[in-house]
Amino acid sequence: MRNLIIGLLAVMLTLSIISYAWPLILALMIIALVGLVIVLIMKNRYFSSDQFKEIKNEIASVVSEHNEISKYVDEIRGGRRFNIGKSTSGMHAHLAKSKNTSSWKYRRDRNVADYGSEFVHNAGLQVVRNAQADPIKYLMKYFDIPATEEKLAEVEEVGESISRLENAIANLKKREDAIAITVSPPKYIRTFFLKEFQRQLGLSIPALQIPYPQYKFQYVSAGGNSSQVTSITLNGKTIDTLLETMAEKIKFRQSAAGQRALMTASFRNHIKTRDNFTCQYCSLSVSQEPNLLLEVDHIQPLSKGGLSVEQNLQTLCWRCNRTKSNK
């Protein structure tokens, strides 16, 4: 808001110099300035009031639990793999150098193919267009994600990381909303000073973006005049569809392998519902703690050959799951 008012003042100042209406503009400037000072005084009084400090003490444990989950979000983001498959279209590109040696004024390499990334597949225009129409099929084909049991488990693991992060971040947002309702600050505080509000309460807000891998199909014409890109974001939805497509193919080839369940969003919900939204270790449940962060855990991990079947899955609260995976 301060930036806005400073900008407004700058505009008014410029206008007052060039305009005849300068007395009016000067008056408006003074009003805006006085308004700003009043709001800042009100804000400082609010944060130093006994009432605010009292509420802050009351919710200290809620804030500290929020901050623990915030730390947990950083752990998930830092400790897990979010990628799967890669393109080999630029595999040895780093061994070569290219230079535009045209002596014409108009350089024609406006569009340059990106060979540096494993997640960019350089291809002809037809492939780029088809990838748009049939993204999963093209993702599998050109980024080396074959429909095998092994790869399926790998995709499930990546899907799990992404879903845990999405789940934990959604949970943090719910907690922040609940805190805001409990504290119930004046509206101008939430509108203009939300960051300061969170800082004053001692809330630590982690980076909320999820590092969804992006896969690109890219075409660059020979002269560099035109280019086209199709990109696929590997978010929860894409992963679920990818899993279903892979399983469909595996089932087609050998019937027994296709019988296992898939770790999709709806299957995770199914397990949580089956367990009555209750942690199977500490028995804490959503009915006791509405904002409890629950996760679905493989009793025998995927990496140790555990399968995604009902008997091998359980609902755990984030605390118990973190303790389990640290062991």
Point out which span in 168-176, 225-233, 266-274, 282-290 binds Zn ion (CB under 5 A).
Answer: 282-290
Neighbours of 233 (CB within 10 A): 12
Give the count of alpha carbons within 13 A of 9, CB side only: 14
Using CB under 5 A, count the residues that bind Zn ion. 5
> In the numeric block, which tokens belong to residue 215?
């896969």
Burial (CB count within 10 angstroms: exposed 0-12, middle 13-18, buried 19+), residue 245: middle
Of 6 and 282, CB closest to Zn ion: 282
Helices 22-48 & 194-201, crossing angle to 10 degrees?
Answer: 20
Window contacting Zn ion (CB under 5 A); options: 101-109, 145-153, 173-181, 310-318: 310-318
Q: Please, which residue, 161 or 321, has the CB nearer to Zn ion?
A: 321
Measured distance CA(313)–CA(319) in Å, rounded: 17
Q: Does 320 bind Zn ion (CB under 5 A)?
A: yes
**Does residue 280 touch Zn ion according to CB under 5 A?**
no
Q: Does 212 bind Zn ion (CB under 5 A)?
A: no
Interface positions, 214-243, toward Zn ion (CB under 5 A): none
The label of the residue with tokens 């969170």 reads 198
Of 162, 279, 293, 296, the one binding Zn ion (CB under 5 A) is 279
Based on CB atoms, which residue is closest to Zn ion, 31 or 282?
282
DSSP state string for 276-301: TTB-TTT--BTTT-TT--EEEEESS-
Q: Is 281 in the site for Zn ion (CB under 5 A)?
A: yes
- Cβ proximity to Zn ion: between 140 and 317 the closer is 317
Interaction site with Zn ion (CB under 5 A): 279, 281-282, 317, 320
